[in-house]
Amino acid sequence: EGAQDAITLDELRDRGRTRDRAELDARTAAITPADVSIYIYTSGTTGPPKGCILTHGNYRQVVTMTESQGALETGEVVYLFLPLAHAFAKLVQFLALDVGGTIAFWERDPQKIIPNLMEVKPTFFPSVPRIFEKIYTLATSVAEDPAKMRQAVEVGMNVRGLAQAGAPVPAELQEAFDAAEEKLFAKVRALFGDNIRVCNTGAAPIAREILEFFYACGVPVMEGYGMTETATVATVNTPESFRLGSVGKPLPGMEAKVAEDGELLLRGPNIFSGYYKNDAATRETLVDSWLHTGDLATIDADGFVFIVGRKKDIIITAGGKNITPANLENGLKQSRWISQVVVVGDRRPYLVALITVDADELPAFAEQHGLEPAEVAGSEQMRAAVQEEVDRVNATVGPVEQIKRFQVLPHDLTQETGELTPTLKVKRNVVSEKNATAIEALYAV
């Protein structure tokens, strides 16, 4: 209300009634699949954003392909917080309109996402890993006994796996499941509004442990893969066919293969036409109709795609060891206290990390340790807590892959400072450039 140049919905309807229907029909009939639908710029995590040319045919095809996988059903209630200029959000809106669903848009306040979910009670929630990480942290931080919680998750995984396979559940296992349902699973589902059918996640890696946790709780978070260049989706897990840790199988009509250097290549009717006014980048990305994704991947015998890491993000240490930083970063981000992690080490003798503290957890940590919230990030107590998490993750990898030193940054990464994209992906180059002095200090002996 009162927004500049805004009109009410009634005014919009009145304008529509005055339009010449014949002109509208003629314009619609004149559109061909090859006509440009939209220019969407990439997020710019690895370089300057590029304008992807997406046609009406691209979007019609990807809508049809995803609907064939049961992505949305008639009557679906969708909660959408993604930026509306994002390719994924655009696809979700098309799908909801196409099948006859309802979309509830967020209130533009991250603190209201969970209250919104509980109010809207969506059946479908498309999101990004950071949101699921936050909900996971919220749900697990109140656990009185972490070991018992892990046992409950294992029980939930087993029971739901047996149910998926149509196999009987032993009485003792069912009894343990019923207890976990009351103490944990039902409470987690309530955070999503208690009506969730399926969630989707993409745009960045997510830890398998988080997927297992939500699956055990009855909140299936299905990971998919795509990019602006594929009109959003290329591969996806579904509740009927999934493999946790993978990004699913290619959509019907999509072809996927792995190049000799491990790069994932894609081909299909939803592949973009090229980059706007950037022929050189187009020629580099589209070769013989195959899209060079820039991601390293493997494909198993059943056709499930597993993303290894971003080609440009792979760290090659001074000793020649190839390391995927996302594995370490995701492990650390499971901590209640940690928000973002950027692992550095390309052409360096060892790995270091830039780590930020979760702003939502500052008051709790401050109260526990007799600090002011503003003192937490630079405190010895927080450094000790982060060191415990680094030690935990280091114990899961070999010596060369371990983080040797780290710096807790005084502030979290944000969109406003240019360190995060609208879908909360970290811009590594920006973070590294801004903290170059801190990085050099970590290598000073």
Average pLDDT (133-141) is: 86
Q: Which sign, positive or negative, has the C-alpha torsion 283, 285, 286, 292?
A: positive
pLDDT digits (tens, 9 = 90+) for 311-359: 888 888 887 888 889 889 989 998 989 999 999 998 889 999 999 999 8
Least confident of 16-25, 66-75, 140-149: 140-149
CA-wise closest residue to 290 among 268, 309, 308: 268
User: What pTM, to 2 d.p., does this model score?
Assistant: 0.81
Mean pLDDT over the full length of the chain: 91
- What pLDDT does residue 43 have? 76
Higher model confidence: residue 422 or residue 392?
Answer: 392
pLDDT at 195: 96
The full length of the chain comes to 445
Residue 46: what pLDDT? 65
Kindly report which listed range (43-47, 67-71, 86-90) carries the lowest average pLDDT score: 43-47
Residue with tokens 């978070």: 221
DSSP string for residues in 403-414: EEEEEE-SS---
d(Cα 98, Cα 31) in Å, to the nearest integer? 18
Give me 282's structure tokens: 């187009």
Q: What is the pLDDT of residue 421?
A: 85
Of the candidates 266, 248, 249, 250, which has an alpha carbon nearest to the alpha carbon of residue 258?
A: 266
Residue 42, pLDDT score: 86
Q: Which residues contact 252 (CB under 8 A, 6 or more apart)?
A: 65, 68, 69
Q: What is the mean pLDDT of residues 135-160?
A: 88
* Residues 131-148, mean pLDDT to the nearest whole number: 84
Res 429: pLDDT? 86
Q: 71: helix, coil or strand?
A: coil
Whole-angstrom distance, CA of residue 31 vs CA of residue 36: 9
pLDDT at 161: 92
Q: Does 382 score more than 60 pLDDT?
A: yes
> Model confidence over 189-207: pLDDT tens digits?
999 999 999 999 988 888 8
Domains of the chain: 7-311 (3.40.50.12780), 314-443 (3.30.300.30)
Q: Which of the two residues, 71 and 92, has the higher pLDDT score?
A: 92
pLDDT(150) > 60: yes
Q: Which of 430, 218, 219, 211 is nearest to 334 (CA)?
A: 211
Question: Residue 6's pLDDT is what?
Answer: 83
CB 224 within 8 A of CB 200: yes
Question: Which tokens belong to 61?
Answer: 């095809």
Q: Is the pLDDT of residue 438 over 90?
A: yes
Spatial separation of the C-alpha atoms in residues 413 and 341, rounded to whole Å: 9
Percentage of the chain exceeding pLDDT 90? 69
pLDDT, one tens digit per residue, over 260-290 is 999 999 999 999 999 999 999 999 999 999 9
Tokens of 347: 């052409």
Mean pLDDT of the region 149-171 = 93
Residue 1 has pLDDT above 80, yes or no: no
Q: CB 289: neighbour CB atoms within 10 A?
A: 10
Higher pLDDT, 167 or 108: 167
